[in-house]
Amino acid sequence: MKERAIDDLTRNAYVDGQLDPSQLQALQAYLRAHPDEAQELEAWRRDAQRLREGAGGDDLPGNPALDPAAVRAGLRVRTRRRMAMAASLVVAVAIGGVTGWSARDTALASRVLPMQDAMQAYRLFASADAPQPDVLADAGDLQGWLDAYFAHAERLPNLSDSGFRPVGARLLATDQGPAALVIYENAGRRATFYIRPPGPGGQFLAQGSRRDGELVARYWSGRGYNYALVTAGDGRGQAAQVGES
């Protein structure tokens, strides 16, 4: 392209009608002296006009999915789903299988075991590098703290006969609402009491117990919540002992 006396900004601004009157006057004077360039810019202008005329011609059938209200609604649904997911992830990175209860009466029940989340919570919070508890037993009344979140729930189990005493508690999230884990200790051993709302259908658990690897869980329902007591069952007697307390 040959060298030009006027720059690209001026040439294009002329084509797009964006020159102010004094700039326009100066350019028009220049173009009168340079008819080749004047012709080119006029052609550019015609091309732009032709493009604008063709631009509205695309057939745009209505698409209700693109209405902002519909997009917003879709986002809300997705956000809720994500929050439920996030809530379960708080537990799940940590606790996993939150849907266990909701699915326990479905065809999937054989694959999802009751109180899977309680087991996972135990594994997380009984480990050496466990997250800090929200409340420590010596800093306050654990029962009172628990009552604030779970009104009318069963009392904390008294495991003192087994030598376990509560040392701390942590609030957790499930997609049915808050859950809590209370940690008991006995000379370095840990047991956990897990309380959570029932699954979406409001299912309660039959009383029972099961073994998962090295862990033993005892679970039951009552007063509107589901409970689990989990401990490492390195000896059957010891686990049973805790469970019976």
Partner 1 sequence: MIQPVRVPPDAPASTDDEMPADELSDAVLRQLLPRLRRFALRLTRDSVAADDLVQSTLERALTRWRGRRPQGDVRAWLFTILYRQFLDAQRRSRRYARLLSWFAGSDAAAPSAEREVIARSSLDVFERLPEAQRTLLWLVSVEGMSYKAVADVLDVPLGTVMSRLSRARSALRELHEGQAGEARLRILK
The verdict on 53 binding partner 1 (CB under 8 A) reads yes
Among 44, 149, 204, 220, binds partner 1 (CB under 8 A): 44
Answer yes or no: are the C-beta atoms of 241 and 235 closer than 8 Å: no
Q: Which is nearer to partner 1, 70 or 109 (CB)?
A: 70
| 40 interacts with partner 1 by CB under 8 A | yes
Q: Minimum CB separation from partner 1 for residue 57, in Å? A: 5
CB atoms within 10 A of CB 30: 15
The residue range among 9-17, 138-146, 162-170, 218-226 that interacts with partner 1, by the rule CB under 8 A, is: 9-17
Query: Which letter does DSSP use for residue 130 in this model?
Result: P
Q: Does 85 bind partner 1 (CB under 8 A)?
A: no
Report d(CA 48, CA 104) in Å as an integer: 66
Total interface residues for partner 1 by CB under 8 A: 38
Q: Does 110 bind partner 1 (CB under 8 A)?
A: no
Residue 136's DSSP bridge partners are 168
CB atoms within 10 A of CB 160: 12
d(CA 82, CA 76): 10
Cβ-proximal residues to 178 (8 Å cutoff; 6+ apart), any chain: 149, 150, 171, 172, 196, 197
Could you tell me the smallest distance in angstroms from the CB atom of residue 3 to partner 1?
A: 13
Binding interface with partner 1 (CB under 8 A): 1, 7-9, 11-13, 15-18, 20, 40, 43-44, 47-48, 50-58, 60-61, 63, 65-69, 71-72, 74-75
